Amino acid sequence: MQKTIEAINYYACGYCTNNQATLFKQEEKKELLFPAGVFLLKHKSRGYILYDTGYTTELYQKKWLYRIYNHLNPTVIDRKQMIDYQLNQSGVRPEEIRLVILSHLHPDHIGGTKYFPNARFLLSEECFQAYKKNKFKSLIFHEFLPTDFDERIERIAPREKQSAFPYKEACDLFGDGSILLSSFDGHAKGQLCMYLPEHKLFVAADICWGIDLLEKTKKIRRIPAMIQDDITAYKTSIQYLKAIMADGNQIVVSHDPEKRIREVLG
């Protein structure tokens, strides 16, 4: 029987690096690479849907904020790694994308938003409120967004109980049970994660930095903890993630190694 979500494709749109010992206590020094993962879904009647948009080369402009970001979070991105370029290479024109789900608005998730002129942008209500308040800790680089971004925002508030996703309230995006969206605070306010019931796949955005690092999050150091929007909520979301995984669901997070994600997607 044909699935409603006919295809799930993954793109690594740049990456950042950090040292394991800088992030976690009692760990050896080891450089870790964190790809900026983007997911393209093909819905049988709704067409293409994009989840996040990766980094942009605009991050290399000579601005003090970008220099600080790149110092703390060394980033590698070239034009051919950006999502619009990769989609074109895959035979998908960015103009075809009518909906972009943004898990949250950090630079590694919004870098390609300008390249989708016909898309509306889906945010959680909590993420939208953080966007409007524009606090420094929210780390939103507004200049990466389209000039008409505000007019193209669609806000959702996951408040419904879904039998296919019993862990938290969720929103059935199209009312057909194919894409359930739920909000997980911690890393960012109102971070939208995505569950695809047909595939038993949970795309967990930045609930953690990598499934292979999940157990190490209990040893997170003070500065990485301070960077999170709410470290208490972050730890709670980790427990949700473990429960979802324990029920036999496939899990990927945005910064999982590319090899792991491709293996999960099969």
- Nearest Cα neighbor of 32 from 18, 47, 53 is 18
**Cβ 29 vs Cβ 221: under 8 Å:** no
SS (H, E, C) the chain: CCCCEEEEEEEEEEEEEEEHHHHECCCCCCEEEEEEEEEEEEECCCEEEEECCCCCHHHHCCCHHHHHHHHHCCEECCHHHCHHHHHHHCCCCHHHCCEEECCCCCHHHHCCHHHCCCCEEEEEHHHHHHHHHCCHHHCCCHHHCCCCHHHHEEEECCCEEECCEEEEEEEECCCCCCCEEEECCCCCCCCEEEEEHHHCEEECCCCCCCHHHHHHHHHECHHHHHHCCCHHHHHHHHHHHHHHHHCCCEEECCCCCHHHHHHHHC
Res. 136: pLDDT tops 80: no
Lowest mean pLDDT among 3-17, 122-136, 152-166, 189-203: 122-136
Res. 80: pLDDT tops 80: yes
Res. 1: pLDDT tops 90: no
Res. 155: pLDDT tops 80: yes
Q: Radius of gyration of the chain from Cα atoms?
A: 17
Give the model's confidence band at 72: pLDDT under 50 very low, under 70 low, under 90 confident, else very high: confident
Task: Give the mean pLDDT of 175-185.
Answer: 97
pLDDT at 148: 97
CATH number, residue 137 = 3.60.15.10
Per-residue pLDDT reduced to its tens digit, 231-264: 999 999 999 999 999 999 999 999 999 999 999 9
Q: Is 1 exposed, middle or buried (0-12, 13-18, 19+ CB in 10 A)?
A: exposed
Task: Give the mean pLDDT of 190-219.
Answer: 96
Give me the chain's average pLDDT, please: 95
Q: Which domain holds residue 100?
A: 5-265
Res. 138: pLDDT tops 80: no
In the chain, pLDDT over 90 holds for what percent of residues? 91
* Count of the separate structural domains present in the chain: 1
Task: Give the mean pLDDT of 151-180.
Answer: 96
Res. 23: pLDDT tops 80: yes
Res. 199: pLDDT tops 80: yes
Task: Give the mean pLDDT of 50-78.
Answer: 94
